[in-house]
Structure 1
Amino acid sequence: MKTTAHLAWKSLTNRKATAILTILTVAISVILLMGVERIRTQAKSSFANTISSTDLIVGARSGSVNLLLYSVFRIGNATANIDWKSFEEFSQERSVEWAIPISLGDSHKGFRVMGTNQDYFSYFRYGKKQPLEFSQGKPFESLFETVIGSDVAKELGYKVGSEIIIAHGISDVAFSRHDNIPFKVVGIFEPTGTPVDKTVHVSLQAIEAIHVGWESGANLGNNPDAESLKEREFHPKQITAFMLGLKSKIHTFALQRKINTYRKEPLSAILPGIALHELWGMMSVAEKALMAVSGFVVVAGLLGMLSSLLTSLQERRREMAILRAMGARPRHIFILLISEASVLTFVGIVTGVLGMYFLLAIAQPIIQQLYGVNVELSMISAYEWMLLGLVQLAGIIIGFIPAFSAYRQSLADGMTIRI
Structure 2
Amino acid sequence: MNMRYLLKMALHSAWNRKLTLGMTVMAIALSVTLLLGVERLRDQAHQGFGLSVSGTDLVVGARTSPVQLMLYSVFRIGEATNNISWASYEKLKQHPMVAWSIPISLGDSHLGFAVLGTNQDYFRHYRYGDRLALKFASGKPFNATFDAVLGADVAKQLGYEVGSRITLSHGMGNSTNSLAEHGDKPFVVVGILKPTGTPVDRTVHVSLEAISAIHLDWVGGARAPGFQIPPQYVQKFDLQPKDVTAVLIGLKSRAAVFRVQRMVNESKDEPLLAVMPGLALEQLWQVVGVAEKSLMAVSAIVVVVSLSGLVAVIMAGLNERRRELAILRAVGAQPREILLLLMYEGIFVILVSIVTGLIALTIATLCAAPIMQSHFGISMTAGWPSLEELRLLAAMALVGLLASLFPAWMAYRLSLADGLTPRL
- TM-score normalised to structure 1 length: 0.87
Instruction: Name 2:265's counterpart in structure 1.
Output: 260
Question: Which among 96, 118, 121 is matched to residue 119 of structure 1?
Answer: 121
3-state SS of the aligned residue for 1:265?
coil
Instruction: Name 2:141's counterpart in structure 1.
Output: 139
Instruction: Name 1:277's counterpart in structure 2.
Output: 282
Q: Report the CA distance between 1:119 and its aligned residue.
A: 1.4
Question: Which among 311, 318, 323 is matched to residue 323 of structure 2?
Answer: 318
- Say whether the 8 Å CA contact 1:4–1:332 is kept in structure 2: no
Instruction: Name 2:205's counterpart in structure 1.
Output: 201
- Say whether the 8 Å CA contact 2:152–2:194 is kept in structure 1: yes
Q: Does 1:184 align with 2:188?
A: yes
CA deviation vs aligned residue, 1:207-265 (integer Å, no higher than 9, x gap): 11112333444344544332232443311012110011122233322221121122232
Q: Does 1:214 align with 2:218?
A: yes
Stretch deviating more after TM superposition (299-308 or 72-81): 299-308
Instruction: Name 1:171's counterpart in structure 2.
Output: 173
Equivalences for residues 18-417 of structure 1 within 5 A:
18-19=20-21, 22-172=24-174, 173-174=176-177, 176-220=180-224, 222-282=227-287, 287-288=292-293, 290-325=295-330, 330-350=335-355, 352-353=357-358, 365=371, 369=375, 372-374=376-378, 376-382=380-386, 383-417=388-422
- Give me the whole-angstrom Cα distance separating, in 1, the residues matched to 2:395 and 2:210: 58
- Give me the whole-angstrom Cα distance separating, in 2, the residues matched to 1:404 and 1:49: 51
Q: Does 1:9 align with 2:14?
A: yes
Q: Report the CA distance between 1:320 and its aligned residue.
A: 1.8
Q: Report the CA distance between 1:166 and its aligned residue.
A: 1.8
- Give me the whole-angstrom Cα distance separating, in 1, the residues matched to 2:399 and 2:308: 10
- Give me the whole-angstrom Cα distance separating, in 2, the residues matched to 1:71 and 1:116: 12
- Say whether the 8 Å CA contact 1:5–1:336 is kept in structure 2: yes
- Say whether the 8 Å CA contact 1:7–1:336 is kept in structure 2: no
Taking a change above 3 Å as real, the CA distance of residues 157 and 301 of structure 1, as seen in their structure-2 partners, is same
CA deviation vs aligned residue, 1:357-395 (integer Å, no higher than 9, x gap): 6777569848975xx452525334323233223312321
Taking a change above 3 Å as real, the CA distance of residues 380 and 73 of structure 1, as seen in their structure-2 partners, is farther
- Give me the whole-angstrom Cα distance separating, in 2, the residues matched to 1:24 and 1:194: 36
- Give me the whole-angstrom Cα distance separating, in 1, the residues matched to 2:322 and 2:333: 14
Q: Which runs of 5+ in 1 are unaligned?
A: none
- Give me the whole-angstrom Cα distance separating, in 1, the residues matched to 2:38 and 2:220: 45
3-state SS of the aligned residue for 1:114?
strand
- Say whether the 8 Å CA contact 1:39–1:375 is kept in structure 2: no
- Say whether the 8 Å CA contact 2:196–2:373 is kept in structure 1: no
Stretch deviating more after TM superposition (291-300 or 337-346): 291-300
Stretch deviating more after TM superposition (122-131 or 135-144): 122-131
CA deviation vs aligned residue, 1:127-156 (integer Å, no higher than 9, x gap): 333322223222111100011222322333
- Give me the whole-angstrom Cα distance separating, in 2, the residues matched to 1:66 and 1:359: 37
- Give me the whole-angstrom Cα distance separating, in 1, the residues matched to 2:221 and 2:102: 25
One-letter amino acid of the structure 2 residue matched with residue 119 of structure 1: D
3-state SS of the aligned residue for 2:170?
coil
One-letter amino acid of the structure 2 residue matched with residue 418 of structure 1: R
- Say whether the 8 Å CA contact 2:372–2:380 is kept in structure 1: no
- Say whether the 8 Å CA contact 1:8–1:337 is kept in structure 2: no
Taking a change above 3 Å as real, the CA distance of residues 226 and 47 of structure 1, as seen in their structure-2 partners, is same
One-letter amino acid of the structure 2 residue matched with residue 254 of structure 1: R
Q: Which runs of 5+ in 2 are unaligned?
A: none
3-state SS of the aligned residue for 1:90?
helix
- Say whether the 8 Å CA contact 1:259–1:269 is kept in structure 2: yes
Taking a change above 3 Å as real, the CA distance of residues 292 and 123 of structure 1, as seen in their structure-2 partners, is same
3-state SS of the aligned residue for 2:274?
strand
- Give me the whole-angstrom Cα distance separating, in 2, the residues matched to 1:250 and 1:362: 39
Q: Report the CA distance between 1:181 and its aligned residue.
A: 1.9
How many residues align? The count is 414
- Give me the whole-angstrom Cα distance separating, in 1, the residues matched to 2:27 and 2:249: 52
C-alpha RMSD over aligned residues:
2.9
CA deviation vs aligned residue, 1:161-211 (integer Å, no higher than 9, x gap): 222222222235145332222211112223333222222110011011112
